[in-house]
Chain A
Amino acid sequence: MKPAAIGPDKKINTPSKPRSWFLEIWKHRMTYTLLLPGLIWLFVFAYMPMGGLSLAFKHYKANMGIWGSPWVGWENFKYVFRDPTFIEAIWRTLYVNIIKFLISFPFPILLALLLNELRMGKMKKVFQTVFTFPQFLSWIIVSGIVINVLSYDGLLNSALSMLGLSTINFLGSERMFLPMLILTDIWKSTGWGAIIFLAAISGIDQDQYESAQIDGASRMQQIFKITLPNILPTVTVMFILNVGGLMSAGFDQIFNLANAATQNVSQVLDVYIYRITFQSSTDFSFSTAVSLFRSLVNMILLLSADRIAKMMGGDGLFR
């Protein structure tokens, strides 16, 4: 096959004897060199920032850097939890994400059911392509489209005024901000979300449908008595996993669809962290304390979601 390096036969596979640990490591030295580049990346770009979270307990001095700045204990957190904007941002995050999630969650399931009931295979493919496309665009591109459609003189308002209806200020009013987020989120992600449910539906044993048809069950009955119960585990798992992301979801969307008029209602936790860190007078210790709080809450949410999903018989996040 391949003229592999011809040389002394380096046969290190000796019959299994209790080997010392060091020998075992030496034997796999090549494997460790394979892991090294990735581990270096992880150390620098994942674990050093994690270590950098220690800044939450320090008073940051630019000339001393993360590691040299003096420790101050819990002092930063005292300021964090006394900051009304921080508390407000937490509630805003939960409020926006929970409502958005509860309203948009059923749509992918409905779409999957509709697509599954469609008999024409070719059309099904076409529809799937159309519905999944927006998912692959960044929220910046989508916000370009959204602004064109929803702005004061945009597509939708022009259509509304043409029909003699009153126009709606989708983008520039605090009251419309959350409905606009929900609407655009459904527009962008429903098709993609449906894919997982479609896969679950395609895994259902076809015999169940056949025997139901023989018994004269209508298609509606088949949906409610066979399809839905069969995909319920997937629905549950997806529901729980989404709950795990409640604290961090939606930053890209909110950040790119917010503007001066909706500044107050768009301040979710991640936007708040961005604004206090990179837009106003910077106190890195304070922002790091907020960051640490966010990371911890995220971890707790994720791990509990994973645990609960597993308890419900799903696979969880990490198999």
Chain B
Amino acid sequence: MSTKAAKRHKFRVGKMTFLDYFLLVLLTVLSLMIIIPFWNVIMISFATQKEYADHPLLMWPKQPTLDAYRALFQDGRLLGGFLNTFKILLVGLPLSLFLTSTMAYGLSRNKFPGKKGIFFIVLFTMIFNGGIVPLYLVMKSLHLTGSLWSVILVGSFSAFNMILMMNYFQGLPESLMESARLDGAGEWKILFSIVLPLAAPIMATITLFYGVSFWNGWYDAMIFLRKAEQLPLQNVLRTIIVESTTNVSNAASVDALAKSGFSTGMKMASVFVSMLPIMCFFPLLQKHFAKGVLTGAIKT
């Protein structure tokens, strides 16, 4: 009985070595570096202003309060931002899924004249684009600037998402569609009654992709929209956080903050409610995004 070898083997595979504990501690410290900033933000939003002023290192408020949230609600601007973002999602998600799935299905089918050319037209937009200036002028000439439609339309197609969906459709058995075709079903009918019901996983993935990009979008809205009451959530958050802190370097900024009407507590409450939906969807997001990015970026 070579106890020594057996022991060593057991030692390596079964029991925790010093290295394992070291890794655990190291990774815990690293993840605390992610968690503590979030925790601090959330706790400040529940603390009174005085308590925060006395202890910026706040980790657990002694007198938790909803004052910041109440004030935020009364101010109403962030609420308006939420409403606009919901409007964008409500119209943008179905539209983007329609545009993406029709094209993905069309390109996933057998050869037809011009297929390669059309695919290149899509692919080329991933390599080259006009940039924001001509896009703005085109939007203006279409009289879309100043309307939420500009933000919805610009965000409702992505070549990357289309290609992901196309790859999925290509994996579906052709025989299903062929038999439907023999039954006299047209391609549109096949897409909606056969392909899409089979494509629930990719539809979920792509819905999340578009959902996150609409939720996090702000640049288009900043360029295309004019009135403050039209702005989506992220832009409202930006005015609350980034633009009100014009100069965060000196103590005078504290006065400026007070003037802007938003206490630190209210700012942190805004940050928290803006990321809350992402937090709720996160388990789903993580799973689907990892899959998407892996099929899209590298084949393993």
Contact = CB atoms under 8 A, between A and B. Distances in A.
Given A136-B212, A299-B128, A55 B37 contact: no
B21 to A, nearest CB: 10
B34 A133 contact: yes
Contacts of A273: 131-133
Given A37-B98, A132-B286, A277-B132, A148 B137 contact: no
B60 interface: no
Contacts, number: 311
B103 A37 contact: yes
Contacts of B216: 136-138
Nearest to B253: A152
Interface stretch (B61-69, B72-80, B86-94, B235-243): B235-243
Interface size class of B (residues with CB under 8 A): 35 or more
Contacts of B98: 37
A199 B247 contact: no
B40 to A, nearest CB: 5
A119 B278 contact: no
A185 B84 CA distance: 29
A9 B184 contact: yes
B6 interface: no
A140 interface: yes
Given A136-B282, A273-B131, 8 more contacts: A9-B184, A34-B191, A49-B135, A133-B282, A158-B56, A196-B293, A291-B134, A295-B131
A140 B241 contact: yes
Q: Which one of B16, B131, B193, B300 has the highest number of Cβ atoms from chain A below 10 Å of its Cβ?
A: B131
Contact of B298 (A47, A191, A315): A315
B113 A118 contact: no
B129 A46 contact: yes
A171 interface: yes
Interface of A: 2, 4-11, 21, 24-25, 27-28, 30-35, 37-39, 41-42, 44-53, 55, 65-66, 111, 114-115, 117-120, 123, 126-134, 136-138, 140-141, 143-149, 151-155, 158-159, 162, 169, 171-173, 187, 191, 195-196, 199-200, 203, 213, 219, 234, 237, 241, 252, 256, 259-261, 273-274, 277-278, 284, 287-288, 290-292, 294-296, 298-299, 302-303, 314-315, 317-319
B136 A277 contact: yes
A195 B290 contact: yes
B191 A145 contact: no
B248 A171 contact: yes
Contacts of A213: 12
Interface string B212-226: 100111110001000
B20 A137 contact: no
B113 A41 contact: no
Given A65-B141, A154-B56, A277 B133 contact: yes
Contact of A196 (B212, B238, B294): B294
B138 interface: yes
A144 B223 contact: no
Contacts of A32: 106, 112
A31 B237 contact: no
B200 interface: no
A38 B157 contact: yes
A203 B109 CA distance: 31
Nearest to B290: A195
A306 to B, nearest CB: 9
B193 A147 contact: no
A11 B250 CA distance: 78
Nearest first, the 8 closest Cβ-Cβ pairs linking A and B are: A172-B249, A52-B134, A49-B130, A38-B103, A34-B106, A291-B131, A138-B216, A30-B187
Nearest to A200: B300
Contacts of A128: 286
28 contacts: A10-B184, A34-B105, A34-B187, A34-B191, A42-B122, A48-B130, A48-B138, A49-B130, A50-B129, A66-B134, A119-B16, A120-B20, A129-B283, A140-B242, A141-B234, A144-B267, A146-B37, A148-B40, A155-B36, A169-B249, A187-B37, A199-B290, A199-B294, A234-B298, A273-B132, A277-B133, A302-B127, A318-B126
